[in-house]
Structure 1
Amino acid sequence: MMLDLLSRGGVLVYPLVCCSVLALAVFLERLYRMSAGCRFEEELAKRLGAAIRAGDGKAVAMIAADCGGPEGRLLQEGAAVMGRNRQTADSILNHCLEMEVRNQARHLDLLATIGNLAPLLGLLGTVIGMIKAFMVIQDAGGAVNASVLAGGIWEAMLTTALGLAVALPTIVAHGFLVGRIERFESSMKNITVLFLRDN
């Protein structure tokens, strides 16, 4: 039933299906990448703060190894800058933070593009379908069965429905991932603050 409907939607159904598959792949890949590492919770913050205040770079490196992921990499950079002047440490840690946030945000622009493009592709498919329907009316000299005309119109509108069906979950997925990245950035900033405050 669904495949039959899609087959009637015209040539623009194919790029819309490709967009939906690509959006799903990007969302799942980003979700997997964002789940790597550790959650920077209160207990970990206390352990890290104590190690930094004590100037114990080995303890910080052990916490980094336990963490893994982007948090672990930032902690490793933090362990390396311990004892350096504040300006140098600030520059190195902020550069690392920016790189990790940029890595987390990879491909999100693609999701946003798909979310914006899918409804337009659907609308284009509908306009093309309506043009074809009116060409049929013209060729028939205006004497067209209403059911034939209605069939042409609903087939034309399939691409709009499909475009919206692709765009809506893509936009929701994009918003969800942006929220995750904002929380991630806040957590990473907390780590840099610990190093700069207590180092």
Structure 2
Amino acid sequence: MEEERLEMMLGSYGGKVSVLEWETESGAAEETMLLWGIQQPTLSKQNAFVSHSSLQLLLDACGHSLSILQSPSSLGKPGVTGAVMWDSGVVLGKFLEHAVDLGILVLQGKKVVELGSGCGLVGCIAALLGAQVILTDLPDRLRLLKKNVESNLRHGVRGSAAVKELTWGDDPDNDLIEPPPDYGTSTPAPYC
């Protein structure tokens, strides 16, 4: 007899997902792959959850309605990915939310350094979940990142968020590495 799977709509983008049993820690990885792989690779286009022609992404996370601003005009420059949201960031943010809700991950009071924060969704969600987050990116991406952090973390934040410049290969500021972070994240590349 085939096991029946419960399906539900996830987030404000309405992605249909199967509800998984979280009997083991591998359930978190399984759900992440399920979310990322919805209709992949042949049945959907890249970024099924977000549009690069939109100036903002609206997403429900941690009991908040987040509004992440994008700068789609920046996509015309080769190598510029930090000015728009990617499905991978949505998946990672929702993974963190679910893992904390289920008690698999504790972010409350933990120091988190996010490398290449882009528009800041993942770091904002981590701060809403109680982490002390330092969101980093290149100098030309900081203005949009700061605006998103400031506009989405005004009220009801259990943790904190600070935005810092970090160019990979340069020596990091001491506050990024001392004390060492409890967690370091890097938003997955958009086509991984």
The TM-score with structure 1 as length reference comes to 0.21
Structure number with greater CO (CA < 8 Å, separation at least 6) is 1
Larger radius of gyration: 1
Where is the strand percentage greater, Structure 1 or Structure 2?
Answer: 2
